């Protein structure tokens, strides 16, 4: 699997990110795993066609002991298996990495 890591974070920095994501109601059933929604305009043709049945399309962010780990796989929250679940496109990756960097910057989290 491919990931984008932001590491060497303190417990306080991780908690600040976790709290922001909880406030945004992006948490999932597993503690310290959050699902960041992809904007509809970034979905590829297949994902857009499957949006109603499979969506929302998201990327998983896991908070670990000293890092944030963004999985570069677009998941479908409405289905476990579908051809619309695939590695992020370069545009999707760039957007979500910039989004995560922006959240960190807003919180003063720097690695």
- Looking at residue 48, its pLDDT comes to 96
Could you tell me if residue 111 is inside a domain? no
pLDDT digits (tens, 9 = 90+) for 85-105: 999 999 999 999 999 999 999
- 24 falls within a domain: yes
What phi and psi values does residue 4 have, to the nearest 5 degrees?
-115, 120
CA dist 67 and 50 (Å) reads 32
Cβ atoms < 10 Å from Cβ of 87: 12
13 part of a folded domain: yes
Q: Which residue range forms the structural domain that includes residue 91?
A: 3-106
pLDDT digits (tens, 9 = 90+) for 57-79: 999 999 998 999 999 999 999 88
Residue 111 confidence (pLDDT): 60
Give the whole-number percent of the chain exceeding pLDDT 90: 87
pTM, rounded to two decimals:
0.90
Helices (H), 1-111: 11-23, 45-49, 51-54, 90-106
What's the domain count of the chain?
1
């Amino acid at each position: 699997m491919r990931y984008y890591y932001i590491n060497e974070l303190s417990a306080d920095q991780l908690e600040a990110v976790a709290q922001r994501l909880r406030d945004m109601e992006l948490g999932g059933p597993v503690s310290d795993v959050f699902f960041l929604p992809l904007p509809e305009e970034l979905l590829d043709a297949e994902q857009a066609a499957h949006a109603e049945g499979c969506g929302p399309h998201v990327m998983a962010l896991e908070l670990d002991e000293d890092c944030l780990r963004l999985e570069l796989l677009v998941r479908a929250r409405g289905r476990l298996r579908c051809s619309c679940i695939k590695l992020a496109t370069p545009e999707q990756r760039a957007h979500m990495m910039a989004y995560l960097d922006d959240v960190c910057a807003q919180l003063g989290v720097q690695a």
